[in-house]
Amino acid sequence: MIITKEKPMEEVYESIADCKKVLFVGCDGCTQPPRGLKEAETLAKLVEMKSKMEGKPIECKFTTIVKQCCDESVGNLRVQIEDCDAMVSLACGIGVQILNKVYPELWTRPAQNTMFMGSEEIRQGPMYEMCLACGDCILEETGGICPVTRCAKGLLNGPCGGCVEGKCELPMEVNGELVKNDCAWYMIYNRAKELDRLDLFRKYRPPKKRALAMSPRRL
């Protein structure tokens, strides 16, 4: 799924402060945490309340659609944007761009920062980056653990010298605290041993073909 993080409400408000009527659009697609109708309604009401307090009232409407990453899906918004000055998208950056493409007469602003593609262990729990969409998957060689994403250095042929007790030497800030991630190659070794396939751990892998990950891509 695509992991997003809310922009500060003040930042969203400032981006539409010169507008009179705005449609807040949620997305029921793969964005996590959920950014659907409930979240669109909450943000719309907060922005509307702030605009009244500032003496520059903005009429805020809200809706949601199945997914904002499809031109056809967002086409159903045509009736709802009548008389609107702008839209605010609660989808990932893809959704924001699609709304601007399909409705060029309106400037759609983002309400989210798109962070990464990842997973969660439990609902409403921590979220972890799992894939960089490198275009050349080697999970069949690494026991289903991606070194490109989960190794801080993106190493393809075993760990560096900074792995201590199975932890990466490079700390990462999470919610204001420094934490050490598990070393990807330590996990890959243990997985290969578990599968009795240490031959794959020892296998040499040439550098990635970076051209496969050059942007913008299409299929």
Residues 166 and 207 in one domain: yes
Among 78, 150, 73, CA closest to 119: 150
pLDDT of residue 111: 97
Q: b/e per residue, 36-48, with b = 16+ CB within 10 A?
A: bbebbbebbeebb
Residues 190 and 161 in one domain: yes
Q: How far apart are CA 131 and CA 148, in angstroms?
A: 8
CB atoms within 10 A of CB 179: 11
| More confidently predicted of 182 and 126 | 182
User: Rounded to the nearest 5°, which phi and psi values hold at 111?
Assistant: -110, 0
Percent of the chain residues past pLDDT 90, beyond the cut: 80
Least confident of 44-48, 101-105, 171-175, 200-204: 171-175
| pLDDT at residue 167 tops 90 | yes
CATH of the domain at 106: 3.40.50.2300
pLDDT of residue 177: 85
Q: How far apart are CA 110 and CA 25, in angstroms?
A: 10
Residues 148 and 176 in one domain: yes
Count of the separate structural domains present in the chain: 2
Residue-averaged pLDDT of the chain: 93
Let me know if residue 101 belongs to a domain. yes
Q: What pTM was computed for the model?
A: 0.86
Task: Work out the pLDDT band at 173, boundaries 50, 70, 90.
Answer: confident
Let me know if residue 219 belongs to a domain. no
Let me know if residue 217 belongs to a domain. no
Residues 13 and 105 in one domain: yes
Let me know if residue 126 belongs to a domain. no
Domain that holds residue 145: 132-211
Percent of the chain residues past pLDDT 70, beyond the cut: 100
Residues 143 and 82 in one domain: no
What does the CA dihedral 27, 33, 34, 39 come to, rounded to 10 degrees?
-90
Tens-place pLDDT, residues 83-132 = 999 999 999 999 999 999 999 999 999 999 999 999 988 877 888 899 99
